[in-house]
């Protein structure tokens, strides 16, 4: 694997062409919830395999198949995905997880705590307040997780 994991969250039914462009070339896509529509997964699948979790706006029969959280393997790396970081109920180090991906806040955020990378790619859907519209990339240079936030529109 030489590319990256594309990260997207909080699309709320809107998949911008800029987001699709930023995710081109990735090995897989993680959607951290609040898809807003089953069509979002179908569109993302045109780029790469998709792992998506259910967010608080993902309701209805179509969302029943989405897990609340998911463990995603990428090479020899393990990424834990959930929508709302406040609902994290595990100790990453004890579970040998080095990356936690979440959404919900619409605020892009990268933080390293106790040898674990916490990454919220922000919101790629409708703009909320003055928050940026973003997606993320996750790479593993020299086997260490590295996060990048990509601003889609000004």
Over residues 43-83, the pLDDT tens digits come to 999 999 999 999 999 999 999 999 999 999 998 899 999 99
CB 48 within 8 Å of CB 26:
yes
Determine the pLDDT at residue 83: 98
Question: 114-126 pLDDT, tens per residue?
Answer: 899 999 999 999 9
Q: What is the mean pLDDT of residues 84-112?
A: 94
Q: What is the mean pLDDT of residues 92-96?
A: 85
Total count of domains within the chain: 1
Q: Where residue 133 sits, what CATH number does that domain have?
A: 3.60.21.10
In whole angstroms, what is the distance from residue 99 CA to residue 104 CA? 17
Range of the domain at 36: 5-153
Question: 28-49 pLDDT, tens per residue?
Answer: 999 999 999 999 999 999 999 9
Q: Strand order of the sheet with strand 146-153?
A: 50-52, 28-31, 5-8, 133-139, 146-153
Determine the pLDDT at residue 123: 97
CB 70 within 8 Å of CB 55:
no
């Amino acid at each position: 694997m030489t590319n990256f994991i594309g990260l997207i969250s909080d699309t709320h039914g809107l998949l911008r062409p800029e987001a699709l462009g930023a995710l081109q070339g990735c090995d897989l896509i993680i959607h951290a919830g609040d898809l807003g529509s089953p069509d979002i997964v179908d569109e993302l699948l045109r780029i790469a395999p998709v792992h998506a979790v259910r967010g608080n706006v993902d309701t209805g029969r179509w969302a029943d198949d989405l897990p609340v959280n998911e463990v995603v393997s990428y090479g020899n790396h393990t990424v834990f995905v959930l929508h709302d970081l406040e609902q994290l109920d595990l100790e990453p180090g004890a579970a040998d997880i080095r990356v936690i991906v979440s959404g919900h806040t619409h605020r892009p955020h990268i933080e390293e705590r106790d040898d674990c990378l916490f990454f919220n790619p922000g919101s790629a859907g409708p703009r909320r307040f003055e928050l940026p519209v973003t997606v993320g990339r996750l790479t593993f240079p020299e086997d260490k997780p590295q996060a990048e936030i990509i601003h889609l529109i000004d």
